[in-house]
Structure 1
Amino acid sequence: MKKISIWFLLLIIFSAQVIAAESLYTIENRDKVMQDYEIHLDYPIFNALQNTDLQEKVNKKISNHVEDTMKEVKQVAKASSGFPILYYGEEFVVKEGQVFSVVLTSNISRGDKYNSDVASINFEDGKDGQLFTLTDIVDMNLLNQQVKKELESEPDTYFHQSFNSVREDTAFYIEGEQLVLVFNKFEVAPGVYGTPEIGIPLEKVKKDPPAHETNVPFPQII
């Protein structure tokens, strides 16, 4: 009973973070049905960030990701025949303090072939806010060590033996003191697990800014 209560509390906290972020953006929809492809996707466009210059950059990155994926789907559909390509795009936004993570999942299928790729756009709002990547905030060597431990702890679930390293463009978001990695379908586990998420304590992998540099861009996550 205690375990269920803890998970319920965590669900409430996560939901509150998502709801708080929702007031800062609207959801755009794209739906197009053609003979050789279908596109159905949602994605956020921010309209109430403190830093309007940053807001423009964030929205541009989101739009570019959507447009690039749509373009790829159309090109593949045009160059081949058979079953139509189905592209379903999903999104969620997580807010942790002034740090935002936009997680975009592209679910693409054709006949009985399915794949899901995940990308994230991460940024810190505010006067000096900025976009940042995974390599900006973590030591990749430490991160790989921690992820390998997590994979090895569940050998029946993950492809721990074939794991080499975390991609630098792996999707992620910040939740409390956890760095949550979101892997592509089939990347670290069988397809039945979808796009697996692995949480790592941020303190164990966090990269400290060089002591001799006073103006190092670094999000105030904790």
Structure 2
Amino acid sequence: MKKISIIWFLLIITFSAHVFATESLYTIENRDKVMQDYEIHIDYPVFNSLHNMELQEKVNKKISNHLEDTMREVKRVAEESSGFPILYYGEEFVVGEDQFYSVVLTANISRGKKYNSSVTSINFENEEDGQIFTLKDIVDMNLLNQEVKKELASEPDTYYHQSFNSVREDTAFYISDEKLTLVFNKYEVAPGVYGTPEISIPLKKVKKDPPADETNVPFPQII
């Protein structure tokens, strides 16, 4: 019993340390604006402790630009239509593994009974020479599409497997427990009742190998 208690204690301490280490890199800010035609409520991270200050500025700028673009679209639609006000609720989560971090931002927009959600991610390596990476920087898109099609076909009652063509290059994603998890927009691969579906695939099955003749090409150091 004592050995089991010690193991659980160590697991809790390790998990808590990981969460603290991740959260200590950023603070959560919020924006709230209530107008007659629309409401905006957003939580988003602002990084302040990355190893590379230039990268930190780029990441924060990407987050800010994404929010501003979405807010402008909400205001534009509100000005051009009448009826129910538009509600924009933005939420976020940050995942870190082996210094590779993903900021996953979800925009939930509703108007009356119409409701939609879209997801984007900003992915980067927290190193002195760290960079921002896209999905196609990490994986072989052909292999990824093959694996995703298998996953969709394995649950035909859940996913639109027959109409699926390919994964968008800007599909949101994060990496955790040696798995690549794709986060799709609402209605993109499944009925709206499933929200923003996530599909996880072992990273080793789809990971792109850096070119053998380009040893200086930046590549994230993830397993």
Q: Specify the TM-score bucket, using the shorter chain as the normaliser.
A: over 0.9
* Structure-2 change in CA distance of 1:146 and 1:94 (3 Å): same
Deviation of the 1:97 alpha carbon: 1.3
Deviation of the 1:176 alpha carbon: 1.8
- Per-residue CA deviations over 1:12-60 (Å, capped at 9, x if unaligned) read 9888654431111001100000000000010000001111111001000
- Per-residue CA deviations over 1:159-204 (Å, capped at 9, x if unaligned) read 1111100000000000021000000001011111100000001111
Q: Which amino acid aligns with 1:52?
A: M
Q: Which residue does the alignment assign to 1:45?
A: 46
Supply the distance in 1 between the matched residues of 2:161 and 2:45 (Cα, whole angstroms). Answer: 34
| Structure 2 unaligned residues grouped into runs of 5+ | 1-10
Supply the distance in 1 between the matched residues of 2:91 and 2:187 (Cα, whole angstroms). Answer: 18
After superposition, residues 28-177 of structure 1 pair within 5 angstroms as: 28-177=29-178
Supply the distance in 2 between the matched residues of 1:176 and 1:158 (Cα, whole angstroms). Answer: 24
Length-normalised TM-score, structure 2 = 0.92
| Higher Cα Rg, which structure | 2
**What SS does structure 1 have at the residue aligned with 2:94?**
strand
**What SS does structure 1 have at the residue aligned with 2:208?**
coil
Supply the distance in 2 between the matched residues of 1:88 and 1:213 (Cα, whole angstroms). Answer: 43
Supply the distance in 2 between the matched residues of 1:58 and 1:169 (Cα, whole angstroms). Answer: 16
| Structure 1 unaligned residues grouped into runs of 5+ | 1-9
Q: Which residue does the alignment assign to 2:8?
A: none
- Per-residue CA deviations over 1:90-146 (Å, capped at 9, x if unaligned) read 000001011000000000000000000000000001111000000001010100000
Supply the distance in 2 between the matched residues of 1:158 and 1:142 (Cα, whole angstroms). Answer: 19
**What SS does structure 2 have at the residue aligned with 1:216?**
coil
* Structure-2 change in CA distance of 1:15 and 1:151 (3 Å): farther
Percent identity among equivalent residues?
81
Q: Which residue does the alignment assign to 1:216?
A: 217
Supply the distance in 2 between the matched residues of 1:182 and 1:136 (Cα, whole angstroms). Answer: 17
Supply the distance in 1 between the matched residues of 2:89 and 2:13 (Cα, whole angstroms). Answer: 27
Length-normalised TM-score, structure 1 = 0.92
Q: Which residue does the alignment assign to 1:198?
A: 199
Contact between 1:91 and 1:104, CA under 8 Å: does it hold in 2?
yes
Q: Point out 4+ residue stretches in structure 1 off by more than 2 angstroms.
A: 10-20
Q: Which residue does the alignment assign to 2:5?
A: none
Q: Which residue does the alignment assign to 1:188?
A: 189
Contact between 1:17 and 1:96, CA under 8 Å: does it hold in 2?
no
Q: Which residue does the alignment assign to 1:6?
A: none
Q: Which amino acid aligns with 2:29?
A: E
**What SS does structure 1 have at the residue aligned with 2:146?**
helix
Deviation of the 1:214 alpha carbon: 1.4
* Structure-2 change in CA distance of 1:197 and 1:15 (3 Å): farther
Supply the distance in 2 between the matched residues of 1:12 and 1:201 (Cα, whole angstroms). Answer: 27
**What SS does structure 1 have at the residue aligned with 2:170?**
coil
